Amino acid sequence: MISEEQTEKIRQALLNQIENMQLSPEEKETAKTQIVEMSPEKLEEFVKPNCVFCNIARGQIDSYKLMENKDAIIVLEINPMSKGHSIMIPKEHITIADFQESIFSLLHKFIKRMNQVLKPKQINITSSESEGHTIISIMPIFGEETGKRTKAETSELEELQRKLIGEEDIQKILEKKPEKPSKSEISEPEIVIEKAPIRIP
């Protein structure tokens, strides 16, 4: 969400542009009225570039969806750096400081699921920004990674999606409470959170 000051700067810039456009006085007046009456949310949407991550979150771009709630979605990375490499995309253009509790809750549930299914040595969590959209990279580490991105095959992504979602409905998986294993049976991976460089899709 943009600040009140940013909203007014954008509004004024748009009004100035309208003034310099080759429109009839009536058309200019109509356009100005629309800009003046636009809510901050609508104004931000109006000037926001066509964001690939927004399109993934809205389902306008096909993805291998793993988990979702009202505020974020988690999908498989199609150019992964490790098996099961995934990204969490908030459904709004927000910074990490503005993440709602529901976003962290979804991330925590997914990390638990990833640990149960893939059993990595550790899970690296990094944040980056692209096109004004903060995304979270969730990368399981097995010790065989090369540090390079490789385009995943469709069959590989589909298999990983089935494993990470499970054969049942994802909500049933999340609601089902498995028996707690003893500490000797399972160990939690180390979770490393760090700031990543700006992502270029």
Write the pLDDT tens digit of every residue in 161-194.
999 997 654 445 445 444 444 444 444 545 445 5
pLDDT tens digits, one per residue of 80-131: 999 999 999 999 888 888 888 999 999 999 999 999 999 999 999 999 887 6
| Domain 52-195 CATH superfamily | HIT-like (3.30.428.10)
Is it the case that residue 154 has pLDDT exceeding 50?
Answer: yes
Find the length of the chain: 201
- Work out the mean pLDDT of the chain and round it to a whole number: 81
Residue 55 scores a pLDDT above 50: yes
Distance CA 136, CA 127 (A): 5
Q: Where are the alpha helices (DSSP H) in the chain?
A: 4-20, 25-37, 40-47, 52-57, 101-118, 154-165, 170-175
* Residue in the block written with tokens 């927004």: 54
pLDDT tens digits, 8-21:
888 888 888 888 77
| Side-by-side strand order, sheet with 86-90 | 65-68, 72-76, 86-90, 133-141, 122-130, 190-195
